[in-house]
């Protein structure tokens, strides 16, 4: 409910609830229509005023722009009371009413708005084209500059949570944008609308796959739809599809809960089925730190009527009445909302009131028991964590009843045992059924393992994914006719190994990028790091082969900014620099030649990049070899940087040469081309710090904190900048936070 106060007369409460239910069911019911059904309330101000407030809130939440004069015209008899009510509403309402959102066809920063995908009280969502990055299509969520949704999403990197590319604010317009990938597909709300004329017992996973195909036909760009998720949906029963979708969402919730976040608004419109079939959790604008709700009184909480757990609804009602409450809202509240969503998928409708939850007990006993446990009014009787919900849903996927259903669906009408049944005994027939059921169950388990491994690989959980695939391969080693499934395992295993190799390389190089901050490491630590670089570099050809890098001389694209090619180039650049820095006396010249050889080898290995020639020129110039240095510098100038990474790498090279003005120019270009890239912002902060532009350094390191709030070094270096900018209190706060984040977990 959205009422101003919950202390209403019984008649007012009855009508407010009826109005809210109608809007929840998609009926834009107006007060006048409602009063025609209840003429006895026409003259009762204690009923009319709450109804006006309720309708006003519901219209705002649905995205309507509401003028207060409209209500004065519609209800002139209550003008005086309305003036007071609307004055309060103006003070308490969501600030989007004072913000002018852009229209389709307008540009916002680097983004051209193509179409509106949705709107609500919190803002609007657009399909946009990012003109500075090859006109790629993205989703822009445009909101007023309030709330911490961008900080909530920044800490979440999960295969079933839509990630954020960048956050950008436009103070002059009072707007903030969250840029996210455009994944196509449709929401579960759209899915339910499309399936509403098909009874749940007549639905199938193929119906879902067909609806995704239909959605793809209307997309402005071409999506690849092949993959294990779509293949699974095409062959699954409807119950299996719901179980799998629920398990993916439960995994996502568990991931968020483990990081201290509650979603608090799990509902069909906040779940996307991407074009490849992957379920994705959306919209964290109501997310709260779980410790805030559990440990101390809060002054605000949100949610959607019908999907909130009872304790969440009661806490919301208490806060609206200005009362304190010791109600506990924690991860189990999200589990309740997930149960409501699963119930709606299985029953085809949303419950009208608390306790009105049902699925077909006879045919869906497995998922029914899971839903019923999620929907317990007492949180102690629910699942205590979302991980257990995911496990139970996956177990439900391969129940004997599921396998029997799959068997009856895939068996040809003129199957061999029907033709030969009169000629064999009953025991042999039963043995055949058991064997085929076992084979199908085993293959079904393996297909689910492939889907799970795909998700784990996308989360960079490669060790677990690899073990899962090896176990799956062993489980069907003896099965005849499973060649296609084995091929899928091998394909996913190669991909997982490639991701693992790229991840390990990236982790090492990412550590190296940290070493040129405002304060560098002692030489002893640099020597240890240089030795590790040498070990990795000795396996460079193996890495190139495994990662599938082609030596084609093409400049790194935006999509490859953190890819293996740039990591290998950075490894060669940073390692060469460390070796020269550590060399002394007679070692200096041989080490310089060895570094030059390493850099040229990097070019031969993964293709040319202007920064590599610039690095060679820098080392030659430092050695006093001006003529040779100029030769390589000229080559570098002939090939201007083509990507944000090349601007960044050149800026870092200029920074090493103490050419701070040139470094600042390149690094600012890199940060503007890819404002969501941590290292581009970080080094922009470094060069500002070196130039004594401490406010700029503070802003850059602040952007780093927004992008990756769990990295201690961002707080540390911002603290240094605060200290130099004569802000000791803020410097101290950052140093304390940096120390807290740097402490090892217990």
- Under the banding of pLDDT at 50, 70 and 90, the label for residue 660 is confident
Residues 462 and 482 sit within 8 Å (Cβ to Cβ): no
User: Model confidence over 285-322: pLDDT tens digits?
Assistant: 666 766 445 444 555 677 777 888 888 888 777 766 55
467 contacts: CB under 8 Å, gap ≥ 6: none
Residues 231 and 278 sit within 8 Å (Cβ to Cβ): no
Residue 194 pLDDT exceeds 80:
yes
Rounded (5°) CA angle 224-546-465: 65
- Under the banding of pLDDT at 50, 70 and 90, the label for residue 362 is very low
**What per-residue string of b and e applies to 223-238 under the rule 16 or more CB within 10 Å gives b?**
eebebbbbbbbbbbbb
- Higher-scoring residue by pLDDT: 157, 162: 162
Give the residue from 151, 108, 143, 132 showing the smallest Cα distance to 703: 151
User: Model confidence over 597-640: pLDDT tens digits?
Assistant: 888 887 777 777 788 888 888 888 877 888 888 888 888 777 77
pLDDT at 323: 61
pLDDT at 422: 47
Neighbours of 621 (CB within 10 A): 16
- Under the banding of pLDDT at 50, 70 and 90, the label for residue 744 is low
Q: Which of 60-69, 241-250, 667-676 has the lowest mean pLDDT?
A: 60-69
User: Model confidence over 75-88: pLDDT tens digits?
Assistant: 877 776 676 666 55
Residue 479 pLDDT exceeds 80:
no
Q: Which of 253-267, 348-362, 610-624 has the lowest mean pLDDT?
A: 348-362
> What is the distance between the terminal CA atoms of the chain, rounded to a whole angstrom?
42
Rounded (5°) CA angle 286-290-292: 90
Residue 335 pLDDT exceeds 90:
yes
- Higher-scoring residue by pLDDT: 244, 467: 244
Residue 267 pLDDT exceeds 80:
yes
**What per-residue string of b and e applies to 147-177 under the rule 16 or more CB within 10 Å gives b?**
bebbbbbbebebbbbbebbbbbeeeeebbbb
pLDDT at 482: 63
265 contacts: CB under 8 Å, gap ≥ 6: 283, 285, 286, 302, 303, 304, 307, 337
pLDDT at 519: 47
pLDDT at 375: 92
- Higher-scoring residue by pLDDT: 79, 558: 79
**Mean per-residue pLDDT, 655-660:** 81
119 contacts: CB under 8 Å, gap ≥ 6: 63, 125
What Rg, from alpha-carbon coordinates, does the chain have? Answer: 30
CATH code given to domain 641-746: 1.25.40.10
pLDDT at 382: 92
Residue 342 pLDDT exceeds 90:
yes
Name the residue with tokens 């102690």: 380
Residue 745 pLDDT exceeds 60:
no
User: Model confidence over 443-459: pLDDT tens digits?
Assistant: 777 777 788 888 777 77
Residue 212 CA to its chain's centroid (Å): 20
Handedness of CA 513, 457, 560, 533 (dihedral sign): positive
175 contacts: CB under 8 Å, gap ≥ 6: 99, 101, 102, 108, 142, 143, 144, 145, 169
Residue 13 pLDDT exceeds 70:
yes
Give the residue from 245, 250, 223, 249 showing the smallest Cα distance to 233: 245
In this structure, which CATH number among 3.30.310.50, 1.10.8.10, 3.40.50.1220, 1.10.510.10 belongs to the domain 183-397? 1.10.510.10
């Amino acid at each position: 409910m959205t009422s101003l106060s919950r202390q209403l007369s019984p008649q007012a409460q009855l009508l407010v609830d009826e109005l809210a239910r109608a809007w929840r069911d998609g009926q834009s019911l107006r007060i006048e229509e409602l009063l025609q059904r209840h003429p006895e309330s026409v003259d009762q101000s204690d009923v009319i005023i709450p109804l006006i407030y309720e309708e006003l809130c519901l219209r705002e939440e649905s995205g309507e722009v509401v003028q207060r004069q409209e209500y004065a015209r519609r209800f002139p008899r209550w003008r005086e009371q309305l003036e007071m009510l609307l004055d309060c509403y103006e003070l308490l309402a969501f600030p989007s009413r004072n913000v002018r959102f852009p229209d389709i066809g307008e540009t916002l920063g680097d983004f051209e708005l193509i179409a509106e995908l949705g709107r609500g009280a919190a803002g609007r969502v657009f399909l946009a084209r990012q003109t500075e990055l090859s006109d790629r299509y993205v989703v822009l969520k445009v909101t007023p500059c309030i709330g911490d949704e961008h900080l909530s999403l920044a800490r979440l990197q999960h295969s079933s949570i839509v990630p954020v590319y960048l956050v950008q604010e436009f103070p002059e317009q009072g707007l903030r944008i969250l840029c996210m990938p455009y994944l196509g597909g449709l929401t579960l709300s759209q899915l339910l609308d499309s399936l509403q004329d098909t009874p749940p017992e007549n639905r199938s996973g193929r119906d879902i796959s067909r609806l995704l195909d239909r959605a793809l036909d209307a997309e402005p760009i071409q999506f690849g739809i092949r993959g294990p998720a779509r293949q699974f949906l095409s062959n699954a029963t409807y119950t299996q599809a719901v179980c799998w979708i629920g398990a993916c969402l439960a995994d996502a919730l568990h991931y968020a809960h483990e990081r201290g976040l509650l979603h608090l608004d799990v509902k069909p419109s906040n779940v996307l089925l991407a074009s490849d079939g992957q379920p994705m959790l959306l919209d964290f604008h109501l997310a709260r730190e779980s410790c805030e709700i559990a440990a101390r009184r809060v002054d605000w909480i949100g949610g959607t009527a019908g999907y909130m757990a009872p304790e969440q609804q009661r806490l919301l009602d208490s806060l609206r009445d200005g009362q304190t409450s010791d109600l506990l809202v924690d991860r189990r509240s999200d589990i309740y909302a997930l149960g409501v969503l699963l119930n709606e998928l299985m029953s085809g409708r949303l419950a009208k009131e608390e306790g009105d939850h049902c699925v077909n007990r006879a045919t869906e006993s497995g998922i029914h028991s899971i839903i019923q446990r999620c929907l317990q009014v007492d949180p102690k009787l629910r699942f205590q964590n979302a991980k257990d919900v995911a496990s139970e849903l996956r177990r439900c996927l391969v129940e004997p009843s599921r396998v029997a259903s799959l068997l009856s669906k895939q068996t040809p009408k003129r199957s061999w045992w029907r033709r030969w049944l009169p000629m064999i005994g009953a025991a042999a027939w039963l043995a055949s059924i058991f064997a085929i059921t076992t084979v199908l169950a085993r293959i079904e388990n393996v297909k689910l393992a492939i889907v799970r491994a795909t998700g784990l690989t996308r989360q960079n959980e490669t060790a677990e994914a690899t073990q899962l695939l090896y176990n799956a391969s062993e489980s069907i080693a003896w099965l005849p006719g499973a060649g296609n499934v084995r091929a899928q395992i091998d394909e996913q295993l190669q991909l997982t190994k490639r991701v693992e190799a790229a991840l390990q390389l990236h982790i090492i190089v990412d550590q190296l990028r940290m070493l040129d901050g405002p304060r560098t490491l002692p030489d002893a630590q640099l020597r240890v790091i240089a030795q590790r670089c040498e070990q990795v570099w000795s396996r460079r050809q193996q890495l190139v082969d495994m990662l599938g890098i082609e030596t084609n001389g093409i400049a790194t694209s935006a999509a490859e900014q953190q890819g293996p090619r740039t990591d290998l180039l950075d490894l060669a650049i940073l390692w060469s620099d460390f070796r020269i820095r550590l060399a002394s006396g007679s070692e200096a010249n041989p080490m310089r030649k060895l570094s030059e050889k390493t850099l040229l080898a990097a070019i031969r290995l993964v293709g040319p990049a202007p920064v590599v020639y610039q690095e060679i020129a820098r080392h030659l110039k430092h050695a006093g070899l001006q003529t040779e240095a100029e030769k390589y510098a000229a080559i570098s100038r002939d090939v201007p940087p083509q990507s944000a990474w090349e601007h960044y790498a050149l800026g870092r090279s200029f920074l090493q040469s103490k050419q701070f003005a040139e470094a600042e120019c390149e690094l600012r270009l890199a940060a503007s081309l890819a404002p969501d890239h941590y290292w581009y912002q970080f080094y922009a902060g470094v060069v500002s710090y070196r130039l004594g532009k401490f406010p700029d350094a503070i802003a850059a390191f602040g952007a780093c904190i927004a992008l990756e709030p769990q990295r201690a070094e961002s707080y540390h270096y911002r603290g240094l900048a605060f200290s130099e900018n004569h802000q000791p209190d803020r410097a101290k706060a950052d140093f304390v936070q940096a120390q807290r984040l740097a402490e090892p977990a217990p």
